Amino acid sequence: MVTVDRCELRGMAQPLVVTVLFNRHLPGEHGLLRLRVGKVARQVQPGHFVQLICDPRLTLPRPFSVMDADPEQGSVDIFYRVVGEGTRIMASWKGGEELRVLMPLGRPFVWPEEKKNILLIAGGAGIAPVHFLARRLVERGQSAVLVWGIETEAPLMTIAARLDGFPLDVAFVESAEALAALDAVGVSSRLASMTPMAGRFHGYVTDLAEHYLERSSEALRRRTELYACGPTVMLRAVARLAERFGLSGQVSLEERMACGFGVCAACVVPVRQESGVGWSYRKICTEGPVFSLADIAWESG
Amino acid sequence: MSGNVTSLEVRLAGLTLANPVMLLSGCAGFGEELAMVEGFDFSRVGAICLKGTTLHPKEGNPPPRVAETPAGMLNAIGLQNPGARHVAEKILPGILHWPTRFIANIAGSTVDEYAEVARIFDDTGVAAIEINISCPNVKEGGVAFGADPVMAARVVAAVRQATSKPLITKLSPNVTDIRVIARATIEAGTDILSAVNTYLGMAIDWSSGRPILGNVQGGLSGPAIKPAALLQVWRVYEVARHCNVPIIGQGGITCTRDAVEFFLVGAAAIGIGTALFSSPLVAGEIVTGLRHHLEERGLDGPARLTGMLKV
Ligand SMILES: Cc1cc2nc3c(=O)[nH]c(=O)nc-3n(C[C@H](O)[C@H](O)[C@H](O)COP(=O)(O)OP(=O)(O)OC[C@H]3O[C@@H](n4cnc5c(N)ncnc54)[C@H](O)[C@@H]3O)c2cc1C
Ligand SMILES: Cc1cc2nc3c(=O)[nH]c(=O)nc-3n(C[C@H](O)[C@H](O)[C@H](O)COP(=O)(O)O)c2cc1C
Ligand code: FES
């Protein structure tokens, strides 16, 4: 149980009224929302999420990871997929619209050591926190590779990246050797999809990640850590990869939430006990959403 | 405006609160989580009811534990809590000095368990003990204590024996006639009544054909239940007014207007639960709104509204 009174979370979550700067519609019922949030943008780190009020008539707020934060402009970006009532309302927002948010929430990714090679694995809208982390890693000059499983026909990533002024696919100080090995077997893309698409790896994104790891040198593999966000089935596959290659890593989890700040106990995940025996439910919103891969009791709950 | 000075202080039997706005059990964690929200002022809420607590730690139900519904939500948390001793020894010492009152909310699957948990909290600085009688009575075959006047009275009597603190009994609306249960628990020694807890319900994912909640069924709360809850409070008031037993009215309150409506049907204080999830600071806003409402009418306190429904 987190004792907020004595920890860094005290007073962290700010209830704010923020303004929509723009809301771009992207292929596959996706959207990119930029919000003017002010000073709080400085505190936002990769892995943090926000609770958005899509409509005051909806009883619950909707949780979204932050996809990017610009401390100078005082803005944050949300990348969303329209899946239901709340996100449909989001898609209708125009620049200038005001809405209520609670942010930042959760505990961010723990920074990897500088000498590590980071394999970032994203599934669908799980790209949001992974993209944010990728950006910060690149800024630091860290070795990192991103693979993304996305079913949308149009090259979503390029669109999102261009909007951002951030050429996601080339900005990495890449672990060139493993990527070259992938190229050699005909996998030149960092995108994967289950439906065959030109220029993309055909299969699960975790299969693409596996190819990468298999083709990495022993030395590179030993330096590699996995950071992932996506559907639970994908994260389970990431956990299996980590086990197979003896790698550690972190995952950002999702579960249905009510409050997002720890009062309702809706958002739980089974986490292994420190003793090593058994598991207990932990709140994703305050103890996560980022957890160490090894801590999740994937087989339980 | 008359010359009356408005005070929001309320006296509910032996329980005095700085104002009549409480945060409800299960919607305010163990108090400490609220400190995470910037601007949350503990001195602005009359009392905070802690999450339902059992004798032994409980892991609760498998997720998903919540589902949004039209104007409301279902929850099936399953009373996840670290057990009464942990709450008494590890959590309360860290929060009791904060400028509000804390109320323990207790649950059990046998009469003895309720009494045991009450004894543990009797030894602490909580301002009152609230009995959640909506739990299934495991020993007698799973029927909720709150649905049977004899069982409800037995729980209240046992807890009454176990503590000298003000006792609140939280009534379930999932009964044929809530007045029968209210009467039985008053006779068994409750000082205050809390009405109402959630309505039973379920949510289905029609495309997969599966229930949304891990527990299949859950409790409905939020604005969707407000009209039903108002009627239940009005009914409880019929019984409680004659015995001077105050009622903590609740069920879907989101604003000052809702709160006033609950006072009019008989509440002496009101509770906010579900509304906190989208507006963690809403209690403070309702306190301010209530003060304005009373001042505009020249009323010296919330008690002037209680049961003032014009029929
Ligand atoms: C920590 C966290 C970060 C997230 N980040 C993103 C993101 O960056 N981009 C993105 O597109 N989506 C993200 N999601 C999922 C997003 O919250 C849901 O897609 C959204 O709540 C759906 O709302 P809706 O009203 O359109 O759907 P509806 O199905 O109509 O919603 C009904 C209820 O179910 C909940 N719900 C439905 N799907 C999910 C889900 N997958 N996870 C949690 N709750 C759900 C809703 O919040 C709501 O309470 C995140 C979820 C969590 C928990
Ligand atoms: C997520 C959640 C958890 C709850 N947990 C408890 C509990 O542990 N004990 C209890 O007596 N009531 C519990 N309740 C019921 C509330 O305290 C309250 O009585 C009910 O939700 C009606 O008020 P509302 O519509 O304002 O939420 C819970 C409600 C919710 C939504
Ligand atoms: S969503 Fe309420 S505790 Fe996490």
Helix axes A205-215, A232-245, angle to 10 degrees: 20
Comparing alpha-carbon positions, the chain B residue that sits nearest to A280 is B59
Nearest CA to ligand 1 atom 20: A62
Cβ neighbourhood burial of B286 (10 Å; 0-12, 13-18, 19+): buried
Residue A223: pLDDT above 70?
yes
Residue A184: pLDDT above 80?
no
Residue A2: pLDDT above 90?
no
**Is B305 within 8 Å of B295 (Cβ atoms)?**
no
CA dihedral A200, A204, A205, A208 (to 10 degrees): -70
A298 Cα to the center of ligand 3, angstroms: 20
Helix (H, G, I), strand (E, B) or coil at A234: helix
pLDDT band at A194; cut points 50, 70, 90: low
Q: Are A4 and B64 inside 8 Å of each other by CB?
A: no
Q: State which fold the B10-304 domain adopts.
A: TIM Barrel (3.20.20)
Neighbouring C-beta atoms of residue A24, cutoff 10 Å: 14
Rg (Cα) of chain A, in Å, rounded? 19
Q: Are B280 and A261 inside 8 Å of each other by CB?
A: yes
Domains of chain A as residue ranges with CATH: 4-105 (2.40.30.10), 117-253 (3.40.50.80)
Question: How confident is the model over A139-168, as a mean pLDDT?
Answer: 62
A289 lines ligand 1 (CB under 6 A): yes
Which ligand sits nearest to residue A265's alpha carbon?
3
C-alpha dihedral sign at A17, A20, A21, A26: positive
- CB contacts < 8 A, A to B, total 134
pLDDT band at A21; cut points 50, 70, 90: very high
Residue A180: pLDDT above 90?
no
What are B222's two structure tokens?
A: 């939020």
- Return the best residue to mutate from B87, B197, B247 for the ligand 2 pocket (most ligand atoms within 8 A of CB): B197
Comparing alpha-carbon positions, the chain B residue that sits nearest to A54 is B278
Q: Are B39 and A14 inside 8 Å of each other by CB?
A: yes
* A136-154 per-residue burial string, b: 16 or more CB within 10 A, e: under 16: bbbeeebbbbbbbbbebee
Residue % of chain A over a pLDDT of 70: 81
Give me the sheet containing A98-105, strands edge to edge. A62-65, A49-52, A98-105, A14-26, A30-36, A75-81, A68-70
pLDDT for the residue numbered B137: 67
- Return the best residue to mutate from A257, A259, A263, A264 for the ligand 2 pocket (most ligand atoms within 8 A of CB): A264
Q: Choose between A200 and A62: higher pLDDT.
A: A62
Distance of CA B297 to the CA centre of its chain: 28
Q: Are A261 and B37 inside 8 Å of each other by CB?
A: yes
Q: Choose between A24 and B55: higher pLDDT.
A: B55
Q: To which residue do tokens 């995940």 refer?
A: A269
Contacts of A256 in chain B (CB under 8 A): 63-67
pLDDT tens by residue, chain B, 311 residues: 445 688 999 999 999 999 999 999 999 999 999 999 999 999 999 999 999 999 999 999 999 999 999 999 999 999 999 999 999 999 999 999 999 999 999 999 999 999 999 999 999 999 999 999 987 766 776 668 999 999 999 999 999 999 999 999 999 999 999 999 999 999 999 999 999 999 999 999 999 999 999 999 999 999 999 999 999 999 999 999 999 999 999 999 999 999 999 999 999 999 999 999 999 999 999 999 999 999 999 999 999 999 999 99
pLDDT for the residue numbered B130: 98
User: Hey, which residues of B are catalytic here?
Assistant: 135
The CA-based angle B178-B218-B230, given to 5 degrees, is 35
Helix (H, G, I), strand (E, B) or coil at A98: strand
**Is A164 within 8 Å of A22 (Cβ atoms)?**
no
Nearest CA to ligand 2 atom 21: B221
Helix (H, G, I), strand (E, B) or coil at A211: helix
Nearest CA to ligand 1 atom 19: A83
> Strand A191-193 vs strand A201-202: parallel, antiparallel, or unpaired?
parallel
Candidate from A13, A57, A301 with C-beta closest to B38: A13
Q: Are B66 and A286 inside 8 Å of each other by CB?
A: no
What pTM was estimated for this model as a whole? 0.94
Alpha-carbon gap, residue A192 to A190, rounded angstroms: 7
Contacts of A13 in chain B (CB under 8 A): 36-38, 280
A255 Cα to the center of ligand 3, angstroms: 9
Query: Closest Cα to residue A289, out of A125, A146, A110?
Result: A110
Contacts of A282 in chain B (CB under 8 A): none
